[in-house]
Amino acid sequence: MTFTRPEFDGPPRRAVRGALLWLVRSRLSFRRRMILAIVSFAGFIAFATVMLRSGMDFAAPQPWKSSDVYQAISGTADADAAATSLRDQVDDITGVDDKAFHPMTQRWVKIEEFDYCAILQGATFDAFTDIPALGGSIAEGVVSTAQVAKLIDQSAMEAKNRLMDRYGVFFERDVQRYACYAAAEGSNSHLHLTTQPLLHRIDPMSYFSKLIPSLTPSTSPIPGERRRYNLAYLLMIHKASIWEQSQQLMEVLDDGSAVFLVHIDPLATELAGKVQEWIHERDARRFATGEAPRALGNVFIVQTSYEGMWGHASLVWMQLSGFWELLDLADWDFVINLSGHDWPLRTSAEIYRTLNSTKHRGKEHIEFWTEPSDMANRLTRPHLGRSDRPSVEWSLVHPREVGLRFPPFLNWNWCKQHQWMMLTYNFVTDLRTNLDALHLLAYMEHTWIPDESYFCAVVANHQKFAYNVVNDKKRYLRFHRQHPVKLTMEDALWFPPEEPAGAEAKYFFVRKVNVSENPDLVDWIRKHHIDKHDTARIWAKEKDKKKKGKQSTQAGGEQSALKVDDV
């Protein structure tokens, strides 16, 4: 006897209807049909009960998305309002509601009883994850959130003490933050608190507000009406020897259409005063001569500075903090990160003319590529910073006992990138509000060279911005043994001037350039790139030429008239 079974992969209502029709139309005896009906009904009731008790739903889970909360309040709301808004957003997305919460029906649980791991305050955890040390899960009602917080605090403190006792040279803050995150993860090869992931999402305000204060929007330090620029530059300087060249770099780029924010490494203690004095004198001079319409100019120093360490997350914090401070300073369309070793091939006006064209408008410019084996090594082996810094390459170490761990978003595409980028105002705003991006930042804080993968990982896996990326950094640099080398006139062959004048540039900048050591290269760039393709200058010359020609024609006519009168 052959039976045609109903399809159960559709909606539940259709499945039940199909089952009933099959029972009615089948050739089984009435008694067998009744037995099957009773068994099926009992199975359905049991299945529904399990679904309700576990908090599952037929609908897909709510995806984590960024919101426009910061875009609406950036530059106008105070810090408390911003923090409250982001935490409300976290509650909405995770479904956490303290009043309505019941341990048997809510999967994501917010925990706020941390002491040692204060950065985890407000983070959400999986209530279904079994915690053997506590005898069960939160969802079973046998474990309280206070017990979970105490276990994580204690485990993190012990892990941190073991690492510091053995190595001694690690930055203590790095080790504590790593230990707290690893303990919250639960399931990793280092602490083994659980067999399944425990941490769901960090609370960004608790985790980063002290480390990166600009995560919280603030009012612009510029008085009066909010300013509007085409471009924003984040200039990162790490030593005094490059300051003179950095001044020249800003003078070449400053045509009034851009705002500059200077980051000074805290180790360059004598440099901060020099930069502040230069900015003050420059603003006063330009205002007095009429070059600038306002007494307060367009060059500023960052509020929060970071000790940059190659391969360390501090380079990501440095850039994110600078980008977010620029959001508060003024409105702009694109931000470009620079170092004192960069040198432009175009004016700011020409750079913006290209970026604002149909081909580039509203797009992120990041050059990235896939390299699975190297990315697996970088992402899964936690690294901690060394205070003694024996060399650039050995400033961070992977302690063997911490083992391997895996990213929270296993299905993401992972990539490598060049550090130098051009990002839109909207994407930088999203980095400030995107909960997935901020959770990834917490994970990548202890990975190897995160500044060469964090930004491309966010943009490449973003529901919106992934489709608006130009895989080009617009910058020429030459590498030798994994590090860029200083350019000479011989490198000019690799970035020849475009034809005709005013053509789109293949590169906007070249690096590394030493102005004092290679004046011939700088002069060649000015003549064959900057001046040749400065369309504003070309148009001004043409206009002046036409004006002089017209005046010459008028003067010739007057002389002819005088000769006629003499006759």
Confidence at 106, pLDDT banded by 50, 70, 90: confident
Indicate if 203 and 270 belong to the same structural domain: no
In-domain check, residue 345: yes
In-domain check, residue 29: yes
159: its two tokens: 């892990």
In-domain check, residue 514: no
Residue 305: pLDDT over 50: yes
In-domain check, residue 159: yes
Indicate if 250 and 292 belong to the same structural domain: yes
Indicate if 202 and 237 belong to the same structural domain: no
* Angle in degrees, 0-180, between the axes of helices 30-54 and 12-25, rounded to the nearest 10: 170
Position with higher pLDDT, 494 vs 44: 494
Strands 364-365 and 396-397: unpaired
Interval 437-470: pLDDT, tens? 999 999 999 999 999 999 999 999 999 999 999 9
pLDDT at residue 7 in the model: 41
Confidence at 483, pLDDT banded by 50, 70, 90: confident
Interval 164-196: pLDDT, tens? 999 999 999 999 999 999 999 999 989 999 999
Q: Which domain holds residue 348?
A: 227-370+413-473
Indicate if 174 and 291 belong to the same structural domain: no
Residue 488: pLDDT over 90: yes
In-domain check, residue 314: yes
Fill in the amino acid letter for 307: E
**What is the tally of structural domains in the chain?**
3
Cβ 216 vs Cβ 209: under 8 Å: yes
Give the domain-ending residue among 189, 214, 239.
214
501 phi, psi to nearest 5 deg: -60, 135
Indicate if 117 and 251 belong to the same structural domain: no
Interval 409-420: pLDDT, tens? 989 999 999 999
In-domain check, residue 64: no
- Sheet with 299-301, strands from edge to edge, namely 299-301, 258-264, 231-237, 334-339, 422-424, 364-365, 469-470
Indicate if 76 and 146 belong to the same structural domain: yes
Position with higher pLDDT, 28 vs 108: 108
Fill in the amino acid letter for 297: G
Indicate if 93 and 199 belong to the same structural domain: yes
Indicate if 232 and 258 belong to the same structural domain: yes
Indicate if 82 and 46 belong to the same structural domain: no
What is the percent of the chain where pLDDT is above 90? Answer: 66
Indicate if 355 and 206 belong to the same structural domain: no
pLDDT at residue 387 in the model: 86
Rounded CA-CA distance 213/191 in Å is 30
